[in-house]
């Protein structure tokens, strides 16, 4: 386990060295940890520097969260301040590790699940000049975390993969579809997939994700 700019992470170094090495940042969901998505590393490009980050807040029954969720109060069901701080800390982390490891700053991919996907939307839309590819796995664009971002920015470099389970009871499919509509309204390139699944990643979802990555 390493730490940089207050973010703890594990990593897989490039297996094959190239002149410009891309960065993949894997961002887990609520109640999980940095090991959750790290299994993806075996199927990601061999020249990639892959980091899987640990969320910043402990939760009572084990695991970590990027921001607190209140399961009782529907009026204020998430801690917006924690969420925005996590968003900003991750942006700083991406800048720092890109510089520290001498990686290609123009080839950064975010892969997030649930809370990690929600943050990935917010990071990419606020910083399209820093992010190239974004995989949204069972997440949605939360406008309280995205904030008043500049919609006149150049989003032409961004590519999104968005997937959601039609039987998701944690984040209903309507939220996933909201992301599809949102990206279309901004003329951002994306693939959108639905699967007959719950709040998770089924094999076909994983195969489609890895096929999408090969395009870049």
Tell me what pLDDT residue 70 has: 75
**Beta 49-53 vs 159-165: how paired, if at all?**
unpaired
- pLDDT tens, position by position, 13-67: 999 988 899 999 999 999 999 999 999 999 999 999 999 999 999 998 889 999 9
The domain segmentation of the chain, as residue ranges, is 2-213
| Residue 31 Rama label (left phi>0; alpha psi -120 to 50; beta) | left
Which phi and psi (to 5°) does residue 202 adopt? -85, 160
Q: How confident is the model at residue 159 (pLDDT cuts 50, 70, 90)?
A: very high
- pLDDT tens, position by position, 76-98: 568 999 999 999 999 999 999 99
- pLDDT tens, position by position, 133-142: 999 999 999 9
Q: What percent of the chain has pLDDT over 90?
A: 89
On the 0-12 / 13-18 / 19+ scale of CB atoms within 10 A, 4 is middle
Q: How many other C-beta atoms lie within 10 A of the C-beta of residue 205?
A: 20
3-state secondary structure of 175: helix
Output the pTM of the full model: 0.95
Q: Is the pLDDT of residue 75 over 60?
A: no
Report the CATH fold assignment for 2-213: Rossmann fold (3.40.50)
Residue 86 CA to residue 70 CA, distance in Å, equals 17
Q: Rounded mean pLDDT of 4-18? A: 95
Residue 167 CA to residue 196 CA, distance in Å, equals 6
């Amino acid at each position: 386990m390493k730490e940089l700019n207050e973010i703890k992470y594990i990593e897989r170094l490039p297996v094959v060295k190239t002149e410009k090495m891309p960065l993949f940042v894997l961002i887990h969901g609520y109640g999980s940890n940095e090991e959750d998505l790290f299994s993806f590393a075996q199927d990601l490009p061999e020249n990639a520097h892959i980091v899987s980050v640990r969320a910043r807040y402990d939760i009572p029954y084990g695991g970590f969260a990027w921001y607190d969720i209140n399961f009782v109060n529907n009026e204020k069901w998430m801690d917006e301040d924690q969420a925005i701080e996590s968003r900003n800390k991750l942006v700083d982390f991406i800048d720092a590790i890109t510089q520290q490891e001498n990686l290609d700053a123009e080839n950064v991919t975010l892969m997030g699940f649930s809370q990690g996907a929600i943050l990935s939307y917010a990071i990419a839309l606020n910083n399209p000049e820093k992010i190239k590819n974004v995989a949204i796995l069972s997440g949605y664009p939360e406008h309280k975390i995205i904030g008043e971002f500049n919609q006149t920015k150049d989003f032409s470099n961004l590519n999104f993969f968005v997937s959601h389970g039609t039987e998701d009871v944690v984040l209903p499919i309507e939220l996933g579809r909201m992301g599809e509509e949102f990206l279309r309204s901004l003329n951002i390139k994306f693939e959108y997939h639905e699967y007959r699944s719950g709040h998770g990643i089924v094999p076909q979802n994983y195969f489609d994700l890895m096929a999408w990555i090969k395009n870049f």
